Structure 1
Amino acid sequence: MKKIINGKLYNTQTAKLLGEDSYSHPGDLACWSEELYQKRTGEFFLYGQGGPMSRYAQTTGQNEWSGGEQIQPMTIENARQWAEQHLSADEYEAIFGEITEDDSKKNVTFSITKDAIELLARMASETGKTRSELVEEMIRNHR
């Protein structure tokens, strides 16, 4: 599905599928499926579809409903909440990183150019430091 929302393009064909969940039972009009995606820009969105008694239902007339589909942009916090509820712990950590009991570190998402990502990866390889360590070092040393 491809949709423009608030001037931004959301496309399930070009975004990365991160996880999915569904409910279905033969003949159940409340069936649904949802897929969490991440765009190349780092933005998250949810693609959902469902039957005429699901939250994706669409009206087709007076007291008449059919199944439907929808794309919903999500903040990183909304994406994390959805993933906590619908994915396994391993799937969650594959997307958002390992969860530690130490809250001195926080995961953040931001966009940088492809060239900068390649440079950061090369620096990590040369120094033996993680990309996170390098970024934190750059921030702390910036004056």
Structure 2
Amino acid sequence: MKRIIDGKTYNTETATQLASWSTASDPEMQGISYEAGGILFQTRHGAYFVVNHNDGLELWEDGYEKLIPLDPEQAQRWAEQYCSAEEIETLFGEMPEAGDAEAKLTLRMPEVLRKRLVALAEGRKQSLNAWIVRCLEGCAEMADRQAAEKRP
């Protein structure tokens, strides 16, 4: 299928198929038989589009197939609906865990201190990172309490 939309070409023959989904009815349950689905593509220049098909269920302007351009966020939402977590991260990169966003911090310290901190963290069955974050949270809470006590 090839379509030109807003002056840009979307061609399933030259684009890369990234993911797909499909479903079929059980004719014994509903009395009719159909298949519906969609395929996510990416053009050679990085644009996303999806081709949906419904095999006779509803006639669209392209017959029983419909090509829809997607921006990267829409393509990711499409993948989140129809793909596994592994497929999504293969297509769009590793996703952060739910919760507050994390920031990366590079910390320079003497090697002797790092070894002491590693031993302390291991003694609590934590990673060094988790142990340091907990220590910083405790320091921040203490500073907040001290600041609150000084307020008139």
* TM-score class, shorter: 0.5 to 0.7
Match of 2:92 among 90, 93, 96: 96
Larger radius of gyration: 2
Larger relative contact order, structure 1 or 2 (CA cutoff 8 Å, min sep 6): 1
Which runs of 5 or more residues in structure 1 are unaligned? 60-66, 106-143
* Deviation string, structure 1 residues 59-115 (Cα, Å, up to 9, x no partner): 7xxxxxxx611110001111011000000001100100011237358xxxxxxxxxx
The alignment-based identity, stated in percent, is 38
Match of 1:43 among 40, 47, 53: 47
CA distance in 2, matches of 1:3, 1:26: 32
* Deviation string, structure 1 residues 24-60 (Cα, Å, up to 9, x no partner): 135445521200001111110001111333xxx217x
Name the structure with the higher helix share.
2
RMSD over equivalenced CA pairs, Å: 2.1
Q: How many residues align?
A: 95
Which runs of 5 or more residues in structure 2 are unaligned? 104-152
Identify the residue that residue 25 of structure 2 maps to in structure 1. Answer: 25
Name the structure with the higher strand share.
1
The two structures have a TM-score, normalised by structure 1, of: 0.59
CA contact (8 A) 1:10 1:45 kept: yes
The two structures have a TM-score, normalised by structure 2, of: 0.56
